[in-house]
Structure 1
Amino acid sequence: MSGSTDLFTTRMRKATRKIHSVSDALVNAKFAISLREETVWGGGLFVFYHIFAFLEDAKDRLNLPDYNRLFVHKILHRKSAFEEDLKHYLGEEWQSLPKSAALENYLEHLQDLEKENPTLLMAYVYHLYLGLLSGGQILAKKRKMFGGKNSSEETYVDKLTDFSDVDIGQLKNDFRAVMNEIAEKMSDEEQQAFIEESNQVFLMNNLIVNSVGGQNQVIRTMLYKASAIFLVVMGAVIAYKMHK
């Protein structure tokens, strides 16, 4: 057991701060800019659905007490919510869409951990679900404020990020508390391995975010529109000066 005075969750946050910041910047840059393109939003949901679904299904396969405890509230089971949103954004046939190489590699890594060291899967549960409760809520609010191309249509409410039935602040506190209790039973070596795997979580998240198609096209379209507006304005200015 570590002699550090910091809580284990605090140690993880400090150890992953750099890669976590890179991950946040990547997600914000690629998704916030693309909020108006529903297929891009759906593509992001698609890649993360497979990771969350794997982690939730692993509960039944493994039946490990600590792993089960980490799902501190039934509302953390988000698989069906993902599926409802995917049907809305990508259509009824979303399950037939191909997985990227990055996503296949991510899932293969999780499968290897399940066989060799299932305790480390909890690093993915902790960071991904905490991310959904934190950054996921922020992105959902941005999407609600700035997204949506058809204001005349009834606004769709994302199921994945809807935690209206619980106190999210308390849920995050409970989540961290259970993670710290689990870590108390780990050896120093086990805690260090868990922290190292935590960095891997963010690295692999970045790879699947990069694999989502469509963002670059959205950005190009936005730049094209901005350039067109700029040319129109400049043309008007030049015409005005010529005929002044």
Structure 2
Amino acid sequence: MAQSEELFTTRMRKATRKIHSVSDALVNAKFAISLSDENVWGGGLFVFYHIFSYLEDAKKRLNMTDYEKLFVSDVLLRKDAFEDDLLHYLGENWRSTPKSMALENYLEHLQNLERENPKLLMAYVYHLYLGLLSGGQILAKKRSVFGDANSQVGKYIDRVTDFTDVDIAQLKKDFRQAMNEIAAKMTEEEKRAFIEESNQVFLMNNLIVNSIGGQNKVLYNVLYKTSAIVLLVLGVMLAYKMNK
């Protein structure tokens, strides 16, 4: 690669910056609620489990060199870790939890890609696993520091975000390098299609995050309590003015 040529990962980051920012804001806002309700965290793990699980199972089905190459280390494989965490947060019957329509649509889209253009599944591998190594670590730290004192946060270590004894910075570097090496063999048309699908990754992530059960209930409770306080203050102010 010529010294002046822009890395494909850099090109993707620029092309997805806008939708990526929206996705980050939504994920942070949604999962912030999980600090006071572990069921919400469990619900988030549930929807993303199905996506990560699909991508890891596809690795076995496809037997595709570039797809294999993108999984630069076995430490990236998170399916078993997800299952351990889901057992902890949602209980033994977590597998019977119904999937939202957004999640069903996401999985159907992945199935269509696997049949029609499996190379584009790598866009999901790249962005989702990189997200787990980046934002996922931040969310895990926030939960351990700011979690509800009455919850099990701090007592149970989430396996899916646990990369103990792993040099995450180096792992991310290797991950990006593998993506760039794969992209070096793509045609310009294939690169454009990959970037277009990368935007789709964040869009679909937003839809499933928005569908996570329980969060609306928690948010409603927060807003209800806040409204009650505001009404109380307004009532006191009104009474003060009337008796002034």
Of stretches 69-78 and 213-222 in structure 1, the one that deviates more from structure 2 is 213-222
Gaps of 5+ in 1: none
Cross-structure match for 2:28: 28
TM-score calculated relative to the size of structure 2? 0.91
Cross-structure match for 1:134: 134
1:19 touches 1:199 (CA, 8 Å); kept in 2?
Answer: yes
1:36 touches 1:146 (CA, 8 Å); kept in 2?
Answer: no
Question: CA 1:151 to 1:116, structure 2 compared with 1: closer, same or farther past 3 Å?
Answer: closer
Cross-structure match for 1:200: 200
Gaps of 5+ in 2: none
Cross-structure match for 2:89: 89
Q: In structure 2, how many angstroms separate the alpha carbons of the residues matched to 1:152 and 1:52?
A: 25
Superposition RMSD in Å: 2.4
Cross-structure match for 1:40: 40
Q: Aligned with 1:158: secondary structure?
A: coil
Q: In structure 1, how many angstroms separate the alpha carbons of the residues matched to 2:149 and 2:125?
A: 34
Q: Which AA in structure 1 matches 2:125?
A: V
Q: In structure 1, how many angstroms separate the alpha carbons of the residues matched to 2:95 and 2:86?
A: 9
TM-score calculated relative to the size of structure 1? 0.91
Question: CA 1:149 to 1:93, structure 2 compared with 1: closer, same or farther past 3 Å?
Answer: farther
Q: Which AA in structure 2 matches 1:168?
A: I
Q: Which AA in structure 1 matches 2:206?
A: N
Q: In structure 1, how many angstroms separate the alpha carbons of the residues matched to 2:223 and 2:105?
A: 33
Cross-structure match for 1:71: 71
Of stretches 33-42 and 78-87 in structure 1, the one that deviates more from structure 2 is 33-42
Q: Which AA in structure 2 matches 1:141?
A: K
2:47 touches 2:103 (CA, 8 Å); kept in 1?
Answer: yes
Query: Is 1:101 matched with 2:101?
Result: yes
Quick one: percent identity of the two aligned structures? Answer: 74
2:143 touches 2:153 (CA, 8 Å); kept in 1?
Answer: no
Matched pairs, number: 244
2:9 touches 2:176 (CA, 8 Å); kept in 1?
Answer: yes
2:20 touches 2:202 (CA, 8 Å); kept in 1?
Answer: yes
